[in-house]
Structure 1
Amino acid sequence: MSTATRLLPILLLACTGPALAQYDPDYDDGSYYAESAPENVSYGYAQVLRADEVVETVRTRVPEERCSDTEYRQSGRTTGGTVIGAIVGAALGNTVGDGDGRRAATVAGAVAGGAIGNNIARQRAEAESRGCQLVEVEREERQVVGYDVEYMYKGDKYMSRLPYDPGNRLRIRVSVTPDDVETAAR
């Protein structure tokens, strides 16, 4: 074996030393490399011509007490509400978990459902004793869900739906790209 053949591994090892010494594991987190900035993007302001409210009708059902002038004797019966609440609560609790966890959830659901059912039945019984009934009433409410905004930028009109009223000026993002696919690929 010649001297050159013996020295080759040593020379290769000596050449890789400076390269290994320059390696810094902190650069592996990805933050070392800066993201490229988007090309052909700028920001400007457009004049708002009009902003029309977009309104949606929302329906809700709320319990309301309706009373007459006649008073009745309170029956105090809340057993039906308690039983129904316990059955519904147990059924819901039985859908959770498995094994001992399911049994515990079933019991907890039955207890919580029974308490809720008892409370509702008691409120209804108290209302009936005063000559009142709980009635579900449907209410409609109109809510603003956005704004249709017409604005002008460099002589051209545009339209957008925004979640807010922009006022007199609207900050816009302007991006310019070639229209032709072949030109864009070059």
Structure 2
Amino acid sequence: MSFALRLFPLLVLASAPALAQYPSEPYQEEGYDQYTAPAVPENVSYGYAQVLRADEVTEIVRTRTPEERCDGVEYRQSGQTTGGTIIGALVGAAVGNQVGKGNGRKAATVAGAVAGGAIGNNIARNKAEAEARGCRIVEVEREETRVVGYDVEYMYKGEKYMSRLPYDPGNRLRIRVAVSPDDTGYAR
């Protein structure tokens, strides 16, 4: 008996487990459901379409920012910063009083009053200077037009299509072409 004839039965026996994994009729398999069956890879290819036009899609964005506005008239500066100094000292003393115990509390109250008075005086002076120049802080609303996408009309194999894209594609647009059967007319 030749070597090949002796090897043939061994090959048949070795391949039996592999053949048993696949049913002879996959659609008759118990529990098979065509809607939940694993997907077969799509028939996909890529091509290029000619861009006919790309129109910007914009939206208006509103922002509010504080700005100093001056009327150009100089006013005589009064130099009155006493109110700001007093209010700052009172707030600073109240905060300082919350810190420490005994003599430490008294020292913290005095230090808070001094620091608060200096801060209040500085704020009042800045405000007085702005008012002396005839200036005030106002909220200014600005509108800005932003491009948010492009409505692109393109032609592929004699057919026109429209898509909204986040970028301007230029003269050519790479497209994804997928082919699948139309099973809407399938009779059951």
Which residue does the alignment assign to 2:175?
172
When residues 178 and 120 of structure 1 are mapped into structure 2, their CA distance, relative to the original with a 3 A threshold, is: farther
When residues 48 and 120 of structure 1 are mapped into structure 2, their CA distance, relative to the original with a 3 A threshold, is: farther
Given that 2:49 and 2:172 are in contact with CA atoms closer than 8 Å, whether structure 1 keeps it comes out as yes
Q: Tell me if 1:69 matches 2:70.
A: no
Which residue does the alignment assign to 2:109?
none
Kindly state the Cα deviation for residue 174 of structure 1 after the two structures are TM-superposed.
0.7
Superposed CA deviations along residues 102-144 of structure 1, whole A, max 9, x for unmatched, are xxxxxxxxxxxx9xxx898876554224220011111111111
Separation (CA, whole Å) in 1 of partners of 2:123 and 2:51: 53
Q: CA RMSD in A?
A: 3.2
Given that 1:64 and 1:136 are in contact with CA atoms closer than 8 Å, whether structure 2 keeps it comes out as yes
Separation (CA, whole Å) in 1 of partners of 2:158 and 2:125: 68
Separation (CA, whole Å) in 2 of partners of 1:120 and 1:49: 61
Structure with the largest fraction of helix: 1
Q: Tell me if 1:54 matches 2:57.
A: yes
Regions of 4+ moved over 4 Å: 118-126
Given that 1:44 and 1:173 are in contact with CA atoms closer than 8 Å, whether structure 2 keeps it comes out as yes
Among 124, 127, 145, the alignment partner of 2:130 is: 127
Equivalent AA in structure 1 for residue 78 of structure 2: R
Equivalent AA in structure 2 for residue 134 of structure 1: I
Structure 1 gap ranges (5+): 1-35, 84-113
Identity %: 73
Given that 1:59 and 1:139 are in contact with CA atoms closer than 8 Å, whether structure 2 keeps it comes out as yes
Given that 2:79 and 2:125 are in contact with CA atoms closer than 8 Å, whether structure 1 keeps it comes out as no
User: Comparing 118-127 with 165-174, which one deviates more in the overlay?
Assistant: 118-127
When residues 60 and 43 of structure 1 are mapped into structure 2, their CA distance, relative to the original with a 3 A threshold, is: same
Structure 2 gap ranges (5+): 1-38, 92-115
Given that 2:74 and 2:132 are in contact with CA atoms closer than 8 Å, whether structure 1 keeps it comes out as no
Separation (CA, whole Å) in 2 of partners of 1:174 and 1:74: 77
Separation (CA, whole Å) in 2 of partners of 1:133 and 1:164: 43
Alignment of 1:1-186 (within 5 A): 38-67=41-70, 68-71=72-75, 72-76=77-81, 77=84, 79=87, 124-180=127-183
Kindly state the Cα deviation for residue 178 of structure 1 after the two structures are TM-superposed.
1.1
Other structure's SS at 2:49 match: strand
Q: Specify the structure having the higher radius of gyration (Cα).
A: 2
